[in-house]
Amino acid sequence: MLIGTPKELFVGERRVALTPDSARALAKLGHDAMVESGAGAEAGFSDAAYADAGVTVVNSAAELWAKADVVTKVRPPEPAEVAQMRDGQTLISFFNPAGNAELLEQARDTGASVIAMEMVPRISRAQKMDALSSMANIAGYRAVIEAGSNFGRFFTGQVTAAGKVPPAKVLVIGAGVAGLAAIGTATSLGAITLAFDVRPEVAEQIESMGAEFVYLEFEESSQNSAATGGYAAPSSPEFREKQLEKFRELAPEIDIVICTALIPNREAPELWTPDMVAAMKPGSVIIDLAAEKGGNCKLTVMDEKIVTDNGVTIVGYTDFPSRMASQASTLYSTNIRHMLTDLTPAKDGVLVHNMEDDVIRGATVTHKGEITWPPPPPKVAAIAAAPKKEKPKELTAVEKRAKEVAAFNQQTRNQVTLLAVGAVLLLGVGLVAPASFMQHFIVFVLAVFVGFQVIWGVAHSLHTPLMAVTNAISSIIILGALIQIGSGSMIVIVLAAFSVFMAGINIFGGFLVTRRMLAMFQKS
């Protein structure tokens, strides 16, 4: 198959859907590649780089659409581009089928198959094709970098000869892919990072990244679940009021706010109100990743940067991935390559559009003259959540004391039982064994008891507990062996000497190992 990638028509779009490295990987699947001249220039990929990768460079987009069996794009196609599609051709691109009904019908009428990259199901097997997550990851990272370029101070705190610099305080609203990327970037730059999400189950993930989760004093069962596709479910009015109340409390101390709360094809919820902006310190920054759908802050102006009367900078750019075009193109083209790998199971350059495959079926929005969107639910069954364990009842002081007394009494009973059983066994042995045996046996039992008490009483200090115990046992062995060396039997003398030698190796070896372990923690 011939894979074609035209130049993006959307104004300001710098990404490209095919990189030279991806083209080399596609060649191993049996595919040939073609790009329109200049398609990757703004992402840092020259025509010469494509040519070196074995890609055919053509000067005309019309020629590319006419020849390519599969066309890969970043932005949804323009109507003029869809008009050039033909029966049997495949388009792989972002498409937004929920918001492009007319374009969807136009694509259906061409007979071409359209795979919308934002419709890839969010299941484990499809993560390598999840272009939405790839782009959201870049947007979250870039949002922090953009905030830093508009913030007048360091992110990290510093103590310098010129004075002390406090660390910046960053609040990330929404802990999806973009939010987590922003949290990771902000914490790595040394900022004090706080994060909020309506799903309390992500708190542990946020805290594991070094950020502090902002809890609300509110209980609502619906907040423990997510809407379809992994997005947060809409909140109740009561929860929203508690949320805004908490944000108003935080606003005066926050330096940077990064808003990421957005569900596709829905108006962005207002989470950072004008009065919160007014309460922020001059020089503070708001990065609104939901600007395309009205913004989480209603003062946000789409695709612009504004400064409010009290000196707060609000950034409403919608092209954060495109601002890192090289990285974004690399990740996106890799997502498409993985999609083409699934579409080419035999690696023979022949596309197999298997509509029984959950991933391919879920992402396909038109096929063989039919609109196949929305897709049926994936056949993969969801894993049921583990039932919550009941919190143990907290005991009163009287109940704790009664429990301790009961445990002590049980331990005493066990010890008395063991002594009684031991006495009975000893008596039974004494009835049948000769007197000389009993003398030695009683000495043996007492030695075991005394040895046990001595060994477990050894303080391990610089040793590990295990090494301390083995050294104590070895010491007892040496003492016993030294006493036996004076025996008149040569066999006993040889065995005793061998015991001293082996136990000595164990003791001195233990000290050498301890010395090496301690040396690992010493500064050179």
Instruction: Cite the active site residues.
Output: 122, 127, 130, 133, 231
Distances (CA, A) of 144 to 222, 262, 391: 30, 18, 39
Taking the C-alpha atoms of residue 101 and residue 139, their distance in angstroms, rounded to an integer, is: 27
Distances (CA, A) of 363 to 100, 129, 132, 136, 343: 15, 10, 12, 18, 12
Are 28 and 93 in contact by the 8 Å Cβ rule? The answer is no
Q: Record the tokens describing residue 23, joined without a space.
A: 């083209």
Question: Residues 360, 342: contact at Cβ < 8 Å?
Answer: yes
CB 232, CB 261: distance < 8 Å: yes
Taking residue 367's Cβ as centre, other Cβ atoms within 10 Å add up to 20
Residues pairing with 192 in the sheet: 169
313-315 and 305-307 as β-strands: parallel, antiparallel, unpaired?
antiparallel
Beta bridge partners of 306: 314
Structure tokens at 366: 């038109």
Cβ pair 116, 96 in contact under 8 A: yes
* Joined tokens for residue 164: 């002390």
Q: Which of 270, 349, 490, 65 is nearest to 73 (CA)?
A: 65
> How many Cα atoms within 13 Å fall on the side-chain side of residue 41?
10
What are 446's two structure tokens? 């007492």
Spatial distance between the Cα atoms of 70 and 456, rounded to a whole number of angstroms: 75
Q: Is 221 exposed, middle or buried (0-12, 13-18, 19+ CB in 10 A)?
A: exposed
Residue closest to 198 by CA, chosen among 181, 168, 183, 219: 219
Do 219 and 246 form a contact (C-beta atoms < 8 A)?
no
